[in-house]
Amino acid sequence: MDWKNKIKAVIFDLDGVIVDTAKYHYLAWKSLADQLGIPFSERENENLKGISRMDSLNFILSLGDVQYMSQDDKMKLAISKNLHYLELITDLNREDILPGTLEWIQECKDNNIKIALGSASKNARRILESLDLIDQFDVIIDGTNTTKTKPDPQVFELAAKGLGVKASESVVIEDAYKGLEAAKNGGFYSIGIGDPEILNIADINLRSLSDADMNILEKL
């Protein structure tokens, strides 16, 4: 069946799909882990992709010998990590949009496919503004709208609801394994951006959005 009769919406993840902010998240968490004397490398960082700020902090603390920490102290650490992260992304601009993104957005518009953002980040709107992309989205669902984090499908379900489409008519584009699990759990089609061996639950795998145009959806 022609994909154009099947697909009505594309839901983009933000970090790692539209913009390579994952490296700045890593640097900010790494510096916090160093301060706390907790060993933390890019390998462990893979687990943080797609999950919320507090879940990320709890994961890092679990890697260290931290017996107990009050909610207040955790909050302070999360705030300090975020301030550092925001410093690192101050200069983010249109040139930081990952290859292929603008072409996919344009193709969606040309084919009357609705566009949503489905991100765990509470900084999503600020980042989309820096990239001058905020007006391109019909619906934006981010970490300020959700109560459950990926692999729960809530973020994508809210996006589909906002767009007025069914999960089975929508494609989620994700760089995180947990994000792809969320898509699967919600009954969405998915494209995994990155290493196909890690992202082996995606319906379609691409190294980058620039590796294909929307006709790749014919594979669904």
Q: Which of 18, 120, 133, 193 binds ligand BG6 (CB under 6 A)?
A: 120
Query: Which residue's entry shows tokens 């639950």?
Result: 201
Q: Of the ranges 48-56, 107-115, 128-136, 196-204, which one interacts with ligand BG6 (CB under 6 A)?
A: 48-56
Q: Are 155 and 118 in contact (CB under 8 A)?
A: yes
State the binding partner of 157 from Mg ion, ligand BG6, none, CB within 5 to 8 A by kind: none
At residue 17, the 3 state secondary structure works out as coil
Provide, rounded to whole angstroms, the least separation between the CB of residue 131 and ligand BG6. Answer: 14
Confirm whether 15 is a catalytic residue: yes
Q: Quick one: tokens of 138?
A: 């019909």
Dihedral sign computed on CA atoms, order 38, 42, 44, 49: positive
Confirm whether 91 is a catalytic residue: no
Provide, rounded to whole angstroms, the least separation between the CB of residue 120 and Mg ion. Answer: 8
Q: Are 209 and 200 in contact (CB under 8 A)?
A: no
Phi–psi pair at 193, nearest 5 degrees: -105, 115
178 scored as a contact of ligand BG6 (CB under 6 A):
no
Whole-angstrom Cα distance, residue 125 to residue 141?
Answer: 9
50 scored as a contact of ligand BG6 (CB under 6 A):
yes
190 scored as a contact of ligand BG6 (CB under 6 A):
no
Instruction: By CB under 6 A, name the binding residues for ligand BG6.
Output: 14-15, 25, 48-53, 56, 82, 119-123, 143, 176
